[in-house]
Amino acid sequence: MQDIPNGLTFSPIAFVRSPYARRIDAPHQSTVVAGTESGTLAEATIEFTEGFPTTAFRDLAGFERIWLVFVFHRSEGWKPEVRPPRGGGKHSVLATRSPHRPNAIGLSAVELVAVEEHALRVRGMDLLDGTPILDVKPYVPYADAFPTSRAGWIDAIDAVQGNHSAPGPKRPRKK
């Protein structure tokens, strides 16, 4: 194992306030809302921690989308292969968007609705209420969008199920 310079510690800069309390309620991707209770893109708030300076996020006003770097705080370990919800058998975890990862960090692009006094109001949320936010970055279309890129095994699923198909939230398991 290699040591990481300066140690590796992170503290949340914000927390999500979303309508999703349970994993089964949240969509699998922020823009895929089929099967959710409302069937619409959910609004949420990114509330910055006490003392976080407003000067650190005020210039986000004017950006249509932002990236949220977050912690899968309810992840319970990981496996090298997972079975994605769209089917197609097992795939290597790093070729999926599974929340159960070697380091439980995630990335989500959401629509920025408003920059508020100590928060960001967003739409298209797929994160659970209370999710710790490690960082926020602006979405820059010329650098972040590659619509003609290949998507590996997902392209094969799209060919059968239709482009950009994704399941709605899972239903609770019967005990």
Give the pTM.
0.80
What are the pLDDT tens digits along the chain (175 aa)? Answer: 556 676 778 999 999 999 876 666 655 555 454 445 555 678 899 999 999 999 999 999 999 999 999 999 888 889 899 888 767 789 888 888 788 888 889 999 999 999 999 999 999 888 899 999 999 999 999 998 888 888 787 778 778 877 655 555 554 444 4
In a domain, 8, yes or no: no
Distance CA 71, CA 172 (A): 23
pLDDT at 157: 79
Length of the chain: 175
Tell me, yes or no, whether 82 lies in a domain.
Answer: yes
Domain that holds residue 102: 14-161
Which among 67, 55, 70 has a CA at the least distance from the CA of 140? 67
pLDDT at 175: 42
State the greatest distance between any 2 C-alpha atoms of the chain, in Å, as a whole number: 50
Looking at residue 97, its pLDDT comes to: 76
Question: For the domain that residue 70 is a member of, what is the CATH number?
Answer: 2.40.30.70
Q: 155 lies in a domain?
A: yes
On whether residue 79 sits in a domain, the answer given is yes
170 in any annotated domain: no
User: Cα 157 from chain centroid?
Assistant: 21
The span from the CA of 42 to the CA of 123, in Å, is: 6
Please indicate, yes or no, if residue 4 is contained in any of the structural domains.
no
**What's residue 34's pLDDT?**
47
State how far the Cα of 2 lies from the Cα of 16, in Å rounded to an integer: 32
pLDDT, position 154? 75
Q: Is residue 7 situated within a structural domain? A: no
Position 45 scores a pLDDT of 97
Domain count for the chain, please give it: 1
CB 12 within 8 A of CB 134: yes
Q: Is 74 inside any structural domain? A: yes
Q: Phi/psi at 123 (nearest 5 deg)?
A: -130, 150
Distance CA 86, CA 83 (A): 8
